[in-house]
Amino acid sequence: MQPPLSPPGAERAPVTHARRARGAYAVALAVVCFAVLATHVHLGFERIRIRVVASPLVASEPTLGIALPDLTPLAGAPAAIIARVSGGGEPTRLALALDDTTLAVVEAPANAETRIDASASITGGRGHSITMSSDRTGWRLDSLEVANVHGFSAGALSFVVVPRGHAGNPRMPWWLAAIIGAGLLVLRPWPVASPGLTPRRPEGVPAVESFPNPRRSETWRPERAARILTGASAGLVLLVFAVVLLADIVSPYRILLSPTTFAILAAILYVRPIVRVVPPLVSWLARATIAGAGAVWSATRAGASFIRRSKAPQLLPHITVIVLVLWGVARFHQPENGFTSFIRFGQAFSGRAVPALGAVPHAVESPYGYDAQFYAQLALDPLLQDPATVRAIDTPLYRARRVFLPWLANVLALGEPWYILQVYALLNVAAWLWMAWLLLRWLPPGSAAATAAWIAIMLSHGFMASMARALADGPSALIIALGVTAVHANRQWLAAAILGVSGLTRETNLLAAAALLPAEKPAPNRLVALAVQGLAVVAPLALWVAYLVSLGLPPEAAGAGNFAAPLVAYVNDWIAAVEEARLYASEFDAWLAVLTLVALTTQALALLWWRAWRDPWWRAGVGYVLLMLVLGPAVWEGQPSAVTRVVLPMTVAFNVLLPRGRWFWPLWILGNANLLHAPREMGLDWFL
């Protein structure tokens, strides 16, 4: 007779309870990791230690007063005051006070050294003093220092111990910590197969194996040892996290972990899911590497085939231009400073530069420098978590809107300051080379007209000035060209994403979103997709500006002179340029402003006359014609002026759309009248 089975659902109860317990454990673990990551992990903490007393001082009086040096680097945050004292022949009671505030009272044993750790908020930089008083004489002050840390640990497991209340800037943004915490929650830090999740066997039903299996016993012991080891390690990590979170609650100290230390400790907690994920990931990376190598080989063969088909002599002008410009780039290199002379740091702003910039060699060759010096410092801290970054940038709310290139340099350089500066300085060069290849799509070699248009774009003053000053204009033109390429390929959503990124490079790049508009009258259902694509273009910049506003950055009037009433600044610049050419007619430089105005005017009138709505390049470029008309005096003034950089997409669209025929060469000459001016930016004016 078969024994009765368990009541319906009885075998599911342990499974449900086990799943709930493990789910609660996973949520608690993710919450703990998020709390540590968001509040107790620093992103590059700079230790500051000011040594006040280096050699021992013997107290001949019960009270010893010491004037402190300038403490400006520690002002505005809790500072650690660390003293080492030795008692005399008898135990000594010592009190340490900053100005008139007693911070610590200790008992120094006889003939032994003891350490005093205290903390206080430093207001101002000068005029502070430390007073140490005792009930007897003969004690000795061995050392005294004021710092922003009580102690630290270096190596793989590194941390700093700071006074309680120290912000620990820069810290991980809470939203990024939340994303990482959600990712940890998805990892499920419990075994896939667990005894608690095994269905209950009905009573009376014999097990499949009635006799012990020696082989199974041998494999079971290592598995059990591994579970015990991982469990003990996880418990130890949770104890460390608890100490980190509770230290500033139960003690006067705050513990800040480095990102590497947090990653190692979190990996110990999530070792089981990591072990499950790593082998498939390694396999995927291996397949991706093989596929990438195959793609590179195919691209190399395709490139060689393209050169054979197009005949190498047809590419000779292109190669010559690239070699000349790269030769000019090499002239900017300095043995100690690398390519930082592109960035043009100014002496006037050196005093308020971020500490990370001062720690690495960089070229400072002019009194005031140029705009890239602020974007390069933004690249050292793209999220503006460090108050020093806000102080270093002349107009933080204005500069920080153009965060894409600084962020890209930081990511490519893996956060290393020296390499961040080098990468940022060379981003324009990389963008220029990419643009040189991409333009062959519309201006293929083999035609004199197409080659001349290609040269006019690649040697345009806008491109050369952007490269020589490490600005965002050249890369912006490349991103717009990539967006137009996507539109040509009928990949509208990809184009919207690319143009959305371009808005984080320069705000005016949003004008190029007109390339997304259809060449024909759209169907009603297409209007909804257009509206969503428009939102996708604007959303990255809007969200980033909202983040900047949430930081409470100081408002400024930057860019107030960038715009004016239509044609006002344009006409005034014509008047000033003609007058200068009349006064200094024999000097070549006096005609450069006139030639620039002739070129830009020709480009604008030609684009308006052609009205080539079907071509996405026309739709992307015509917005810059309207922009040129409302640019203010701050953009037009100076020699050279910034206008050629600002309307660079108009120059690209003009040369791409130049009609082949009898009007090509007159329009090419007038539309690129200032072409000889551009090589001067890269030091290639030896032929003039």
How high is the pLDDT of residue 661? 83
Q: How are strands ordered across the β-sheet holding 253-257?
A: 151-153, 159-163, 253-257
Check whether residue 607 and residue 478 sit in a common domain.
Answer: yes
Q: What is the pLDDT of residues 120-154, one digit of tens each?
A: 887 766 778 888 888 778 788 888 888 888 888 87
Check whether residue 587 and residue 676 sit in a common domain.
Answer: yes
**What's the total number of domains in the chain?**
4
Check whether residue 137 and residue 189 sit in a common domain.
Answer: no
Cβ count near 613 (within 10 Å): 14
Q: Which residue has the higher pLDDT, 99 or 239?
A: 239
Check whether residue 400 and residue 543 sit in a common domain.
Answer: yes
Check whether residue 457 and residue 581 sit in a common domain.
Answer: yes
Check whether residue 54 and residue 41 sit in a common domain.
Answer: no
Tell me whether residue 206 is in a domain. no
Q: What is the pLDDT of residues 243-254, one digit of tens each?
A: 888 888 888 888
How high is the pLDDT of residue 247? 86
Contact between 157 and 115 (Cβ < 8 Å): no
Tell me whether residue 216 is in a domain. no
pLDDT of 420 over the 60 cut:
yes
Task: State the DSSP code for 202.
Answer: P
Check whether residue 418 and residue 441 sit in a common domain.
Answer: yes
Q: What angle do CA 207, 210, 211 make, to 5 degrees?
A: 145
User: CB under 8 Å to 681, separation ≥6 — which residues?
Assistant: 461, 464, 465, 467, 468, 640
**Helix/strand/coil for 486:** helix
Task: State the DSSP code for 171.
Answer: B
Tell me whether residue 568 is in a domain. yes
- % of the chain surpassing 90 pLDDT: 27
Check whether residue 103 and residue 241 sit in a common domain.
Answer: no
How high is the pLDDT of residue 518? 87
Check whether residue 498 and residue 579 sit in a common domain.
Answer: yes
**Long-range contacts: 188-195, Cβ < 8 Å, 24+?**
188/22, 188/26, 188/273, 189/25, 189/26, 189/29, 189/269, 189/270, 189/272, 189/273, 190/22, 190/25, 190/26, 190/272, 191/272, 192/276, 194/18, 194/22
Contact between 190 and 25 (Cβ < 8 Å): yes
pLDDT of 215 over the 90 cut:
no
Q: What is the pLDDT of residues 315-331, one digit of tens each?
A: 889 999 999 999 989 98
The confidence band for 210, taking pLDDT boundaries of 50, 70 and 90, is very low
Question: How far is residue 539 from each of residues 384, 476, 497, measured CA to CA in Å?
Answer: 20, 18, 10
What is the DSSP pairing of strand 345-346 with strand 364-366?
Answer: parallel
Q: Which residue has the higher pLDDT, 375 or 101?
A: 375
Check whether residue 414 and residue 512 sit in a common domain.
Answer: yes
pTM greater than 0.75: no
Tell me whether residue 524 is in a domain. yes
pLDDT of 241 over the 60 cut:
yes
Report the mean per-residue pLDDT for the chain: 82
**Helix/strand/coil for 539:** helix
The confidence band for 83, taking pLDDT boundaries of 50, 70 and 90, is confident
Length of the chain: 688
Tell me whether residue 605 is in a domain. yes
Beta bridge partners of 58: 140
Q: Which residue has the higher pLDDT, 309 or 549?
A: 549
Tell me whether residue 326 is in a domain. yes
Q: What angle do CA 162, 163, 167 make, to 5 degrees?
A: 75
Tell me whether residue 687 is in a domain. no
- % of the chain surpassing 70 pLDDT: 88
Range of the domain at 291: 277-305
Distance CA 11, CA 29 (A): 28
**Helix/strand/coil for 128:** coil
Contact between 273 and 186 (Cβ < 8 Å): no
Residue 116 sits in a domain whose CATH number is 2.60.120.260
Q: What angle do CA 248, 249, 250 make, to 5 degrees?
A: 100
Give the residue-averaged pLDDT of 476-492: 93
Check whether residue 341 and residue 230 sit in a common domain.
Answer: no
Which has the minimum average pLDDT: 43-47, 237-241, 330-334, 389-393? Answer: 43-47
Check whether residue 608 and residue 503 sit in a common domain.
Answer: yes
Identity of residue 15? V
CA count, 13 A, side-chain hemisphere, 638: 10
User: Assign residue 99 a region: left if phi > 0, alpha if psi is -120 to 50, beta otherwise?
Assistant: left
Q: Which residue has the higher pLDDT, 172 or 344?
A: 344
Tell me whether residue 520 is in a domain. yes
Shortest CA distance to 83 belongs to which of 143, 129, 130, 140? 143
The confidence band for 198, taking pLDDT boundaries of 50, 70 and 90, is very low
Tokens of 240: 């460390």
